[in-house]
Structure 1
Amino acid sequence: MPYAQSPLSPVRRRAARVLAVTGAAALLLAGCGSSNSGDSANSANSANSSGSGNSANKRTVKDATGKAVEVPAEPERIVTLTQEDLDAVLALGVKPVGITNGQGLNEPPAYLKDRVQGVPVVGNLLQPVMDKVIAAKPDLILAGDMQDEQMLRQLREITPATLVTMAPTDDWKLAFRGIGNAVNKLDQANKVIDDYQAKATEAGADLGRNKGAAVSIVRWNPTGPSWMEKKQFAGGVALDMGLTRPTAQDKDGNAHSPALSLEKLSEIDGDWLFLSTLTDDGKAALKDVQSKPAYQELNAVKNNRTVTVDGSVWSTRGGPLAADVVIGDFGKALSAS
């Protein structure tokens, strides 16, 4: 999962143009055994110069761009540059030594905050401060969907074990398996996904009269609302729970619609309306429109079936811990009615 088509950060817009739509993160699953010959030894020595540990035990994996990268067989000092990378390693029981702030935030995502107490923040989402990364002494850097080649070169000078972990069209399960492979925990990653699938199915079956309801999933931007396509992270969780989408939102894909005008506000209607924001400007825009007739005439609004959810969870590309939050949000709202 990618982020919204509008608005997107410049880095993510570049990512969407550069990477192929074939789900390149699947290549991460092609890990192979230790490699200790010539070039590998040089890579290991470079890694050791930044304090990244023993070079004797390495594996080679392919990252989401198809690049072969030598990584520690058992990485001990992982730095994550996106919320999705952080979610993934925490779900695998690994605490990183450096993280970035959440999307649109100046702090870690609220749903992960308790899990990363005391972990140094090395910058904002996909915008690491190199001195802080160096201070973390990583032996593995998980760089999300970063496509800033200059920045990647700088990161690889800190440790050659720097991985682009996702392509714009990868869903969170594919990217999560790739990250699981990169940290040598693929079996555990597969179990996490199996457990998620079972939980989503059970939660969807327990929704009573709202089982299979048409849920509208919307992020409110300063320029207006954007609904999420079916394979965007939260939309995918809805499908896994057996929920449906309103006719206007019944579109395959993993992005957001363009921001809608008041004249098209009916596109966000549904049996239920789940609303998120990411910025204070977005919150202000939502508050302003809630007094307008076009909003008040939505069936979900008239039936008191609107739910405000955390945009830093629902509007991201997701991971197993975020998916657990979304399942809980759906369950709390729909099973109570």
Structure 2
Amino acid sequence: MLSKRNLFCTLGVLAGVALGSSAAMARSLDTAFGEVEVNDDPQRVVTLYEGALDASLAAGVTPLGAIATRGGQQVANYLRDQVPDIQMVGLAGETNLEAVVALSPDLILASPRLPEAQYALLSQVAPTVVPPSSGFSPDAWRDEALLFGEALGREPQINEALAAVDQRAEELKARINAEGQAPSTHLVRWMPQGPLVMSTKLFSTGMLSAAGFAVEDSGLVADQRPHSDPLSLEALPEIEGDWLFLATLNEDGQEALETASQSEAFRRLDVVQRDQVVAVDGQLWTSASGPLAAQAVLDDIETAVESNATQ
């Protein structure tokens, strides 16, 4: 939610920013809220969505500001070294409007889930690009990255980054399916209240599929939901498969997983006994998206497969 403090004063500042901008408006983009004109070569970019930060960096643009990743206070670990000095302008779902205004952006890249009321305020600060939302889809991130690349004037760089992801995924798939069969797996995010089975229609489960896995949700995830309700330890057999990818968002989730992994119910799982459980970073696997995130997910998959091959 955008801050409501001093709303009328802030709106006055926004109007001043908009009127004071002298940059040429050269291109029109089709966004969730209609056509938006953007500068030919934006120099002061703020991202309010993890996928927008990822796409910007993949395109060779370093934003001035970003929101913190879900479950954290900074950007996701896999991007932190690339933006050590980036200004935090809010948390996931809670943007600090005054912090955005202070950066005087000439382009804002936002989430497809941005409410229209927030868009109305942000668009007074700078052209605000919001991708159309098509619900949960494993390939939605690609269309988002392409739109962000177009907004930045960096379409060739984004196309190149996407092609590199596709080529690497195909190479991994050839290795993983070398015996003619796709190994089954679930992606589970472990929270303090219990494990959540993630939808097969998300970014990271889509990457698992692209790399050659048969991703399942055991019928536990309702349509257009990102994950299941928390499972009890007694229900863990529901997540049996050839592999199991386990993600935690923060220290609380990690502690809960470590406690659960000592239970008899967890140790009895066949996938655990075969040592084909892969611990992954939940900030990357269950919150991030974009070309750089895709390469990082493929890194984890490749490491897991190579480690298993040497056992």
TM score, norm. by length of structure 2: 0.85
1:129 aligns with 2:100: no
* Residue 304 (structure 1) shift: 1.5
The answer as to whether partners of 1:206 and 1:335 remain within 8 angstroms in 2 is no
After superposing the two structures, state which structure 1 stretch, 146-155 or 226-235, moved more. 146-155
Q: Which residue of 2 aligns with 1:61?
A: 29
Matched, 1:255 2:226: yes
Q: Is the 8 A contact 2:44 2:104 kept in 1?
A: yes
SS at match of 1:332: helix
How far 1:85 moved relative to its partner? 0.7
CA drift at 1:301: 0.8
**Residue 311 of structure 1, aligned match among 270, 282, 294:** 282
Q: Equivalent residue for 2:6?
A: none
Question: Partner letter of residue 58 of structure 1?
Answer: A
1:115-154: CA deviations, max 9, x gaps?
A: 1122222222232222211121101111113433333222
Secondary structure of 2:67 counterpart: coil
The CA RMSD over aligned residues, in Å, is: 2.6
1:139-177: CA deviation from partner (whole Å, max 9, x where unpaired): 111111343333322212212x01223524352112111
The answer to which structure has the higher strand fraction is 2
Number of residue-to-residue matches in the alignment: 291
Shift of 1:312: 0.4
Equivalent residue, structure 2, for 1:196 = 165
Residue in 1 that maps onto 2:130: 164
8 Å Cα contact 2:198-2:217 kept in structure 1:
no
After TM superposition, the structure 1 stretch with the greater mean CA deviation from structure 2, 216-225 or 181-190, is 181-190
CA contact (8 A) 1:83 1:100 kept: yes
Aligned position for 1:31? none
User: Which stretches in structure 2 are left out of the alignment for 5+ residues?
Assistant: 3-14
Q: Which moved more, 1:119-128 or 1:297-306?
A: 119-128
Q: 135-144 or 120-129, which moves further after superposition?
A: 120-129
Q: Alpha carbons of 1:124 and 1:273: their partners in 2 closer, same or farther (altered >3 Å)?
A: same
Q: Give the aligned partner of residue 189 of structure 2.
A: 219
Secondary structure at the counterpart of residue 69 of structure 2: coil
CA distance in 2, matches of 1:81, 1:219: 23
In the alignment, what sits opposite 1:276? 247
How far did 1:237 drift? Answer: 0.5
CA distance, structure 2, for counterparts of residue 256 and residue 283 of structure 1: 18
Unaligned runs of 5+ in 1: 1-9, 12-44
Aligned position for 1:87? 54
Residue 205 (structure 2) aligns with: 235
| Superposed displacement of residue 260, structure 1 | 1.5
Q: Helix, strand or coil: the match of 1:218?
A: strand
In the TM superposition, residue 58 of structure 1 has moved relative to its aligned partner by 2.1
Normalising by structure 1, report the TM-score: 0.78
Give yes or no for the alignment of 1:103 onto 2:70.
Answer: yes
